[in-house]
Amino acid sequence: MTRFFGPRGWTILAACAAVVFVVFPVLNLVVPPTSAFHLSAFWVTLIGKIMCYAIVAVAMDLIWGYAGILSLGHGLFFALGGYAFGMYLMRQIGADGQYRMNMPDFMVFLDWKEFPWQWWNTEHFWWAAILVLVVPALLAYVFGYFAFRSRVKGVYFSIITQALTFAAMLLFFRNNTGFGGNNGFTDFKRILDIPITTPETRMALFAITGAALIGTLLLGRFIVTSRYGRVLAAIRDSETRVLFCGYDTVHYKLFVWTLSAVLCAIAGALYVPQVGIINPSEMSPANSIEIAIWVAMGGRGTLVGPIIGAFLVNGGKSVFTQYFPEFWLYLLGLVFILVTLFLPAGVLGLLDRWRRKST
């Protein structure tokens, strides 16, 4: 137990779990809406969405903070997980769409008579779960294998990942790919034949997302505190020395790269039923760059820091875009520059510095 966290760390984690699994459900489902202590559906959706982003941030930290692999295309894996699960949610609509047919409305509008091949078996939840895991993992493995075998790293690797997600975004914008074009998937009705908009369903999705975030954090701690994690840190610091020691760094990097992609896909699958939409804009390079900002702001190489960064950036984004939406990207860029110059260890590093001074 102490290998993962100290007593203080476990206490904080238990307190956060109690808030997610006990306090929030009570405030949302038990406390009446007229009460000042009621947690509205808006906050349940917003916090659930940010927890999905936090999973992505931890996944990014595993490859960037501990293996030195900066990806500017992780939004692709997040979106692929969302699309894979979104196909199942679209099939759950059935004949309740605008055109009252057992096909998604965009297919009826385009006069399609049957589902494309990639929609095969997507009416089953178990198949959608397999797609969420396998499709991003396969893409990440193939891409990573050739990239790492070719010794592509540093800024060149980052640019290639950015090009990959941009190409995928352009592909998904096309109507003939069968993924809804620029509108994507939306207007979901049910999940597992249960209405998706009921407070109980939304709180269940919220709790599952919280459990997934805690599980991702524990998995990350298990990896980075193991012998494998120490090799990853050595690769980050000097891959050439690790090669001279007889380690095949390709397999080490390939495993954590593929695992990171799968974690992002799981986050995307949890994101879609809570937010209610998935479209190609989730694959935009700007979204992937923003993921790196979450990690940098919270403190890379810490696992907990990226979670803090995801909550700070996205919480601030929700507030700031309500009043000055046109200036948000400028503010985000300024924050990233200031963090890079004055807080290289992120917010968590600043808090740790204050704690040491106080003691």
- Helix or strand or coil: residue 48? helix
The HSE-up count of residue 152 (CA atoms within 13 Å, CB side) is: 17
Q: Residues 102-125: what's their mean pLDDT?
A: 91
pLDDT, tens digit, for every residue of 54-90? 999 999 999 999 999 999 999 999 999 999 999 999 9
Q: List Cβ neighbours of 289 (8 Å cut-off, separation of 6 or more).
A: 72
Q: How many CB atoms lie within 10 A of CB 139?
A: 18
Rounded-to-integer distance, Cα 211 and Cα 20, Å = 9
Rounded-to-integer distance, Cα 345 and Cα 6, Å = 21
Q: Is the pLDDT of residue 4 over 70?
A: no
Closest CA to 276 of 202, 210, 207: 202
The domains of the chain are located at 44-283
pLDDT class for 22, splitting at 50, 70, 90? very high
Rounded-to-integer distance, Cα 348 and Cα 346, Å = 5
Cβ(71)–Cβ(164) below 8 Å = no
pLDDT, tens digit, for every residue of 132-161? 999 999 999 999 999 999 999 889 999 999
For the chain, state the CA radius of gyration: 21
Q: What is the mean pLDDT of the chain?
A: 92
Q: Residues 12-31: what's their mean pLDDT?
A: 95
- Helix or strand or coil: residue 286? helix
Residue type at position 112: W
Q: Per DSSP, which regions of the chain are E strands? A: 185-186, 190-191, 194-195, 277-278
Q: Residues 317-323: what's their mean pLDDT?
A: 86
Residue type at position 38: H
Question: For residue 203, what pLDDT is reported?
Answer: 96
pLDDT, tens digit, for every residue of 186-217? 999 999 999 999 999 999 999 999 999 999 99
